[in-house]
Amino acid sequence: MDALLLMILTFFGYIIMYKVYGKFISKIIFKINKHAKVPSEEFEDGIDYVPTKKEVIFGHHFASIAGTGPIVGPAIAIIWGWLPAILWVFIGSLFIGAIHDFGTLIISMRNKGKSISEFTAKYINPRTKIFFFIIIFLELWIVISIFGLVIAVIFSMYPTSVLPVWFQIPIAMYLGVLIYKKGKNFALWSVIAVALMYITIVIGYYLPINMPSFLGMPATGVWTILLLIYAFIASVLPVTALLQPRDYINAYQLTIAMLLLVLGVIFSSIFGGMDLVAPAMQATPAQAPPLLPFLFITIACGAISGFHSLVSSGTSSKQVKNEGDSVFVGIGSMLTEGALATLVIIAVAAGIGLGYTNSAGQTLTGTGAWTARYASWAAAQGLTSKIAAFVDGAANMISSLGIPRGIAVGIMGVFVASFAGTTLDTATRIQRYVVSELCVDMKINIFKNRYFSTAVVVLTAMLLAFLSGADGKGALKLWPLFGAVNQTLAALALVVATIYLKGRGGLKWLATGIPAVFMIVITLWAAILNQTGFSDQNNILLQIINVVIIILVALIVIEGFVAFLNTTEQHEEPVSVGG
Amino acid sequence: MKYFFKKILKQISEKSKLFNEVARSKAMELSEQELSELEHTFAILTFGAFVGLPSPPGQITLDLLPESEKEIMLLLQKTDTAHEPLSVLASLFQVD
Amino acid sequence: MKNNPQYVFFIGKGGTGKSTVSALTALKLSHEQKILLVSMDPAHNQSDIFQTTLSDKPTEINKNLLVIEINTEKWIKNYLHEIEDSVRRNYLYLSAFNLEKNFNIIKNSPGLEEYALLLAFNKVREIYSTKDHIIFDMPPTALTTRFFSLPPLSLLWNNHLIKLRDEIIKKKELITKIKFNKKEYESDKVLKKLQQQQSFYTDVKNIFTDINTTSINLVLNPDKLSMEESKRIIEKFREINIQTDNIIINKSVDESLSTAIKEKFRDIKSKIFPLSKTPLIGIESLKSYLLNNNL
Q: What is the CA radius of gyration of chain A?
A: 23
B33 neighbourhood in chain A, CB within 8 Å: 315
Under an 8 A CB cutoff, do C115 and B66 touch?
A: no
Residue in chain B lying closest to A132 (CA):
B86
pLDDT score of A412: 94
CB A333 within 8 A of CB A341: no
Lowest-confidence pick of A518-522, A528-532, C195-199? A528-532
Out of A574-578, B12-16, C36-40, C248-252, pick the least confident.
Answer: A574-578
Given CB atoms, is B73 within the 8 Å cutoff of chain C? yes
Tens digits of per-residue pLDDT, C220-239? 888 888 888 888 999 999 99
For the segment(s) C6-147+214-292, the CATH number from 3.60.21.10, 3.40.50.300, 1.10.357.10, 3.40.630.10 is: 3.40.50.300
Which of C80, C91, C197 comes nearest B69 by C-beta? C91
Where helices occur in A24-128 by DSSP H, the ranges are: 39-42, 54-65, 69-77, 82-87, 99-109, 116-123
Mean pLDDT confidence for C68-94: 85
pLDDT at A577: 42
pLDDT at A573 over 60: no
* Residue A501: pLDDT over 90: yes
Angstrom distance (rounded) from CA A142 to CA A116: 21
Query: Rounded to an integer, what distance in angstroms lies between the CA atom of residue A36 and that of residue A106?
Result: 11
Asked if B42's CB is within 8 angstroms of C168's CB, the reply is yes
Better-scored residue on pLDDT, A436 or C9: C9
Residue in B closest to C188 by C-alpha: B67
Distance from CA of A487 to the nearest CA of B (A): 13
Distance CA(A225)–CA(A501), nearest Å, equals 47
Residue A254's φ and ψ, nearest 5 degrees, are -60, -50
Neighboring chain C residues of B64 at a CB cutoff of 8 Å: 190, 193-194
pLDDT value for C105: 67
* C76-99 mean pLDDT: 77
Question: Distance from A84 to chain B by nearest Cα, in Å?
Answer: 23
Contacts of A244 in chain B (CB under 8 A): 27-31
Shortest distance between the Cα of A59 and any Cα of chain B, in A, equals: 6
Contacts of residue C174 in chain A, CB cutoff 8 Å? 180
Q: Would the CB atoms of A307 and B96 count as touching at under 8 Å?
A: yes
Chain B residue at shortest CA distance from C107: B58
**pLDDT value at residue A579:** 35
Q: How confident is the model at residue A576 (pLDDT cuts 50, 70, 90)?
A: very low
Nearest-by-Cβ selection for B66 from C86, C174, C179: C86
Domain ranges of chain C: 6-147+214-292
Question: With an 8 Å Cβ cutoff, are B31 and A240 in contact?
Answer: yes
pLDDT of residue C262: 83
| Contact assignment for B66 to C89 by CB distance below 8 Å | yes
**Contact residues on chain B for A129, CB-CB shorter than 8 A:** 84
The mean pLDDT value for C66-95 works out to: 84
Task: Determine which of C168, C172, C178, C180 to mutate to test the interface with A (most A C-beta atoms within 10 Å).
Answer: C178
- What beta strand segments (E) does chain C contain? 6-11, 35-39, 59-62, 65-69, 133-137, 214-220, 244-252, 269-274
Asked if C80 is an interface residue toward chain B (Cβ–Cβ < 8 A), one would say: yes
Handedness of CA A101, A107, A108, A114 (dihedral sign): negative
Contact B86 A117 (CB under 8 A): yes
CB–CB contact B67 C190 (8 Å): yes
pLDDT the model gives residue A578: 40
Does residue B91 or residue A290 have the better pLDDT?
A290
B39 shares contact with chain C (CB less than 8 Å)? yes
- DSSP character string of C99-149: HHHHHHHHTT-TTHHHHHHHHHHHHHHHHTTT-SEEEEEPPPHHHHHHHHH
What digits encode the pLDDT tens for the residues A349-362? 988 888 777 767 77
Task: Answer whether residue A449 shows pLDDT above 90.
Answer: no
A556-561: average pLDDT: 90
Give the CA distances from residue A222 to residues A140, A170, A219, in Å, rounded to whole numbers and listed in that order. 21, 22, 5
Mean pLDDT of A231-244: 90
- The highest-confidence range among A48-57, A339-348, B31-40, by mean pLDDT, is A339-348
Residue of C75, C115, C148, C160 to mutate when probing chain B, most B C-beta within 10 A: C115
CA atoms of A185 and A178, how far apart (whole Å) = 8
Mutate to test the interface with B, among A52, A58, A64, A136 (most CBs of B within 10 A): A64
Q: Which amino acid, one-letter code, is at A305?
A: S
User: In this predicted structure, what is the pLDDT of residue C161?
Assistant: 92
Coil, strand or helix at C94: coil
Asked whether the predicted pLDDT for residue A166 surpasses 90, the reply is: yes
pLDDT, tens only, A76-96: 999 999 999 999 999 999 999
Cα gap A389→A384, rounded to integer Å: 9
Measured between alpha carbons, how far is C17 from C42 in angstroms, rounded to an integer? 14
- Mean pLDDT, rounded, for A36-54: 87
Contact B89 A433 (CB under 8 A): yes
Spatial distance between the Cα atoms of C269 and C254, rounded to a whole number of angstroms:
19
Percent of chain A residues past pLDDT 70, beyond the cut: 97
CA distance C113 to chain B (A): 10
Evaluate if residue C106 carries a pLDDT over 70. Answer: no
Task: Compare CB distances from A179 to B27, B74, B86 and report the shortest one's residue.
Answer: B27
ipTM of the prediction: 0.80
Considering CB atoms only, which of B24, B32, B94 is closest to A67?
B94
% pLDDT > 90, chain C? 34
Mean pLDDT score, A182-191 = 87
CA A438 to chain CA centroid, nearest Å: 24
**Among A117, A315, A434, whose Cβ lies nearest the Cβ of B92?**
A315
How large is the average pLDDT for residues A400-412? 91
- Select, from the ranges A183-187, A385-389, C1-5, the one with the highest average predicted confidence (pLDDT): A385-389
Confidence of residue C97 (pLDDT cuts 50, 70, 90): low
Task: Choose the most confident range, by mean pLDDT, from A319-333, A529-543, C70-84.
Answer: A319-333
Please tell me which residue of chain B has the smallest CA distance to C167.
B38
Asked if B62 is an interface residue toward chain C (Cβ–Cβ < 8 A), one would say yes
Contacts of C178 in chain A (CB under 8 A): 179-180, 186
Q: Of the candidates C89, C110, C160, which has its C-beta nearest B58's C-beta? A: C110
CB contact under 8 A, B62 and C79: yes
A252 touches chain C (CB under 8 A): no
**Residues of chain B that touch chain A, judged by Cβ-Cβ distance less than 8 Å:** 18-36, 39, 70, 73-74, 77, 80-81, 83-96
C194 touches chain B (CB under 8 A): yes
C284, pLDDT greater than 70: yes
Asked if B35 and C172 touch (Cβ cutoff 8 Å), the reply is yes
The alpha carbon of A469 is separated from its chain's Cα centroid by a whole number of angstroms, namely 23
B59 with C115: Cβ contact below 8 A: yes
Which of C153, C164, C172 is closest, CB to CB, to B57? C153
Report the pLDDT averaged over residues C99-123: 79
Determine the residue type at A434: V
Which among B28, B66, B69 is the nearest to C83, CB-wise?
B66
B5 CA: distance to closest CA in chain A (Å): 21
Q: Is the pLDDT of residue C86 over 70?
A: yes
Nearest CA in chain B to A43: B77
- List of chain A residues whose C-beta atoms are within 8 Å of the C-beta of residue C177: 183
Across chain C, mean pLDDT equals 86
Condensed to tens digits (0 to 9), the pLDDT of residues B13-61 reads 888 888 888 888 888 888 888 888 888 888 888 887 766 777 778 888 8
Give the pLDDT mean for A3-16: 93
**Other C-beta atoms lying within 10 Å of the C-beta of residue A11:** 16
A-chain CB neighbours of B85 within 8 Å are 115, 433
Q: Which of A231-235, A242-246, A438-442 is predicted with the least confidence, judged by mean pLDDT?
A: A438-442
